[in-house]
Chain A
Amino acid sequence: MSLPLESQTAQAGSVGQAVKKPGQLRRLARMLLKSKTGTIGLLIVIVVVFMAVFASAIAPHDPAKTQAAQRLKPPMWMEGGSPANPLGTDNLGRDVLSRIIYGSQVSLMVGVCAVAVAGAIGVVLGLVSGYFGGIVDNLIMRTVDSFLAIPNILFMLVILTVLGPSLTTLILVLGFTNWVKYARIIRGEVLSVKERDFVRAARTVGASDGRIIFTHILPNVISSFIVVSTLSVATTIIAEASLSFLGLGIQPPTVSWGGMLSDGRQYLATSWWVATFPGVAITITVLGIMFLGDWLRDILDPRMKARAK
């Protein structure tokens, strides 16, 4: 959903444009450093992205390499552990640290792509619903209600069973079940934006509906979109882990944190580390993204902050 740049700058007071100018970037960085949790969040996200991108360079071992002799070795600080496997090994002798590093790839990719799919569906339906109103609005909102009545995880389970698990299906399913919150929030924003004078002015000079929606309304709702998207990445990562844990998400040999947890569950009695560390990785990643999202909300949408307080 790329926007012509001039349309963004045309909107005085739009927040989306503030991010683009170089001088503003420094201001943004200063604002970020002022917020402790925001800084921590950004650092965590940078580390996780770095891990995912350079996984092959920083992982000490091949994540899929099995070593029968090295089965279920404890972490290096425990008796019997060795620095070769800092976080120990799993039931097939695979290095837990390397698997966690590789697992970040799946989590981030699924998180970001699924949110893009959900965002695309939700924003379009939200814009249409809020702008046109009437029967279309009613139909879309009743569909939203029906989606809300079925717990997300149940919905995803059923679709994944039908379609069979794969990375692409997983992303599409997560996107298809999570568009609802975008549709609701964007619709609400559109309802208030469309009554503003500049929209009326555009209509008076004869701008088409499509033009009004995409060049006048969309730039004004984009900051809510960014905030919701960031926080959605966090919830999507948890959802992906849950599905992989249930065996319906990422399939071996691709490494995923949820899958690792599920494997480790069977060795809980003897080898606590196999199930523990992937969970720590998920928690820290999600925490980082949530911190970053909260900070983005505070600066991009001060009204939302006021409402949250």
Chain B
Amino acid sequence: MRQYLLKSILQIVPVLFLISIIVFVLVYVTGDPVSLMLSDTATDEDREILIAALGLDQPMHIQYFRFLGNMLQGDFGTSFRYDMPALPIVLERLPATFELAIAAMIVATVISIPLGILSATKRNSFLDIFVSGASVLGKAMPHFWLGIMLILLFAVEWKTLPVSGRGSWDHLILPAFTLGTGIAAEMTRLIRSSMLEILGQDYIRTARSKGLIETIVVYKHALRNSLIPVVTIMALQTSTLIGGTLITETIFSWPGMGQLIIQAVNTRDMAIVQAAVFVVAFLVIVSNILADILYRVLDPRIKYN
């Protein structure tokens, strides 16, 4: 186990290295941070000085190694919009994004587990068909549209929930549903097929034949085991989840990292964008490793090799 852990942690290094190249190239291609920083009245001479000061006259690989060196020390440059180091600005927004993401996962879990179980145990019933239809619809709907429709119904039409912002529990409901529905659709499908597979196993037949009541067979014997693949696949959805927060936070003016990124992209505040891309990538990689470990802990049959 320890060896396995060490190996998977070591695998992060080349991936992070490649990501640093991607992030660097993206901004290197953007080319001209100088004209964004200079005022309109600046002369060519001012320009030269700034270029030299930023090291932009150096060859590309030198610039990259400087970028990498700074990055390893947590320095992604200064945001010209906030006039502060970029990384702390990004990290400061994380709690709000985590709050939204966790709420969305809770919504997804609460919807998908009962529906997944019901449609698996009552296979091909009307309910099963309805649930399958709903989950296909949940995948086909663009979630930013769903968000707008939820605002239309709950905030504009019925005036029961706030339109945007972060604060009380009320504020969390609509964004969490917007972000959670797509994941719920995916999860319901997974739980259903996983349950069906488990319900056909020998030990379920044994449990039934020794006279256990169906509820115990389903909830104790089958559900626990069928959740193993679901848990891991969900942990692998971190990338989708964080991607989803970008738009959800924009629609609901949720003050998280997603909103920050969209604003930074619009104002071309590249230091923030670089730092954010890196933070996101890091989170995704770490959660993928956690998913892997979780899978092995939940299912001891899997070998470490």
Q: Residues of A with Cβ closer than 8 Å to B?
A: 142-143, 145-146, 148-155, 157-159, 161-163, 234, 238, 241-242, 245-248, 258, 261, 264-265, 268-269, 272, 275-276, 278-279, 282-283, 286-287, 290-291, 308-309
| A276 partner, pick from B152, B242, B262, beta carbons under 8 A | B152
Binary interface encoding of chain B residues 157-189 relative to chain A, with 1 for a CB under 8 A from any of its CBs, else 0? 000000000000000000000000000000000
| B19 partner, pick from A149, A248, A291, beta carbons under 8 A | A149
Do B26 and A268 touch (CB < 8 A)? Answer: no
Do A283 and B18 touch (CB < 8 A)? Answer: no
Do B243 and A151 touch (CB < 8 A)? Answer: yes
| A18, B239: Cα distance in complex, Å | 38
- Interface residues of chain A: helix, strand, loop or mixed (majority): helix
| A148, B283: Cα distance in complex, Å | 12
Closest beta carbon of chain A to B153's beta carbon, Å: 9
- Interface residues of chain B: helix, strand, loop or mixed (majority): helix
Interface: B35 (CB within 8 A) = no
Closest beta carbon of chain B to A167's beta carbon, Å: 19
Interface: B280 (CB within 8 A) = yes
Interface: B144 (CB within 8 A) = yes
Instruction: Please report the total number of B residues contacting A with Cβ < 8 Å.
Output: 46
Closest beta carbon of chain B to A107's beta carbon, Å: 11
> Which residues of chain A come closer than 8 Å to B288, judged between CB atoms?
149
Q: Which residue in chain A gives the minimum CB-CB distance to B282? A: A149
Q: Residues of B with Cβ closer than 8 Å to A?
A: 14-15, 18-19, 22, 26-27, 29-30, 136-137, 139-142, 144-146, 148-149, 151-152, 156, 193, 196, 239-240, 242-243, 246-247, 250-251, 261-262, 265-266, 268, 273, 276-277, 280-281, 284-285, 288
| A276, B151: Cα distance in complex, Å | 12
| A282, B284: Cα distance in complex, Å | 29
| A143, B262: Cα distance in complex, Å | 25
Do A279 and B145 touch (CB < 8 A)? Answer: yes
Do B136 and A290 touch (CB < 8 A)? Answer: yes
| B18 partner, pick from A142, A268, A287, beta carbons under 8 A | A142
Which of A152, A268, A278 counts the most chain B CB atoms within 10 A?
Answer: A268
> Which residues of chain A come closer than 8 Å to B276, judged between CB atoms?
154
Do A146 and B19 touch (CB < 8 A)? Answer: yes
The 9 residue pairs across chains A and B that have the minimum distance between CB atoms: A151-B243, A279-B145, A146-B18, A287-B140, A286-B140, A149-B281, A153-B243, A162-B30, A149-B284
| A247, B265: Cα distance in complex, Å | 11
Closest beta carbon of chain B to A61's beta carbon, Å: 24
Do B140 and A158 touch (CB < 8 A)? Answer: no
| A286, B182: Cα distance in complex, Å | 14
Do A282 and B15 touch (CB < 8 A)? Answer: no
| A290, B27: Cα distance in complex, Å | 36
> Which residues of chain A come closer than 8 Å to B247, judged between CB atoms?
153, 242, 245-246
14 more A-B residue pairs beyond the given contacts A161-B30, A309-B196, with a C-beta to C-beta distance below 8 A: A143-B18, A149-B284, A150-B284, A151-B240, A151-B242, A157-B261, A158-B277, A234-B140, A245-B142, A245-B144, A261-B145, A265-B251, A276-B149, A279-B145
Do B156 and A269 touch (CB < 8 A)? Answer: yes
| A290, B193: Cα distance in complex, Å | 18
Closest beta carbon of chain A to B188's beta carbon, Å: 14
> Which residues of chain A come closer than 8 Å to B30, judged between CB atoms?
161-162
| A283, B149: Cα distance in complex, Å | 13
| A150 partner, pick from B14, B149, B280, beta carbons under 8 A | B280
Do A142 and B156 touch (CB < 8 A)? Answer: no
> Which residues of chain A come closer than 8 Å to B281, judged between CB atoms?
146, 149-150
> Which residues of chain B come closer than 8 Å to A261, judged between CB atoms?
144-145, 148
| A246, B247: Cα distance in complex, Å | 8
| B243 partner, pick from A154, A276, A279, A309, beta carbons under 8 A | A154
Closest beta carbon of chain A to B157's beta carbon, Å: 8
> Which residues of chain A come closer than 8 Å to B240, judged between CB atoms?
151
> Which residues of chain A come closer than 8 Å to B284, judged between CB atoms?
148-151
> Which residues of chain B come closer than 8 Å to A248, judged between CB atoms?
265
| A148, B285: Cα distance in complex, Å | 9
Closest beta carbon of chain B to A308's beta carbon, Å: 7
Do A151 and B142 touch (CB < 8 A)? Answer: no
> Which residues of chain B come closer than 8 Å to A246, judged between CB atoms?
247, 250, 262
> Which residues of chain B come closer than 8 Å to A258, judged between CB atoms?
142
Do A279 and B26 touch (CB < 8 A)? Answer: no
Do A283 and B140 touch (CB < 8 A)? Answer: yes
Closest beta carbon of chain A to B205's beta carbon, Å: 19
Do B246 and A151 touch (CB < 8 A)? Answer: yes
Given A268-B151, A279-B145, A287-B136, A151 contacting B280 (CB threshold 8 A): yes
Closest beta carbon of chain A to B71's beta carbon, Å: 15
Do A154 and B246 touch (CB < 8 A)? Answer: yes
Q: List 10 A-B contacts (CB under 8 A).
A: A148-B239, A154-B246, A157-B261, A158-B26, A158-B277, A245-B142, A261-B144, A276-B149, A279-B148, A290-B139
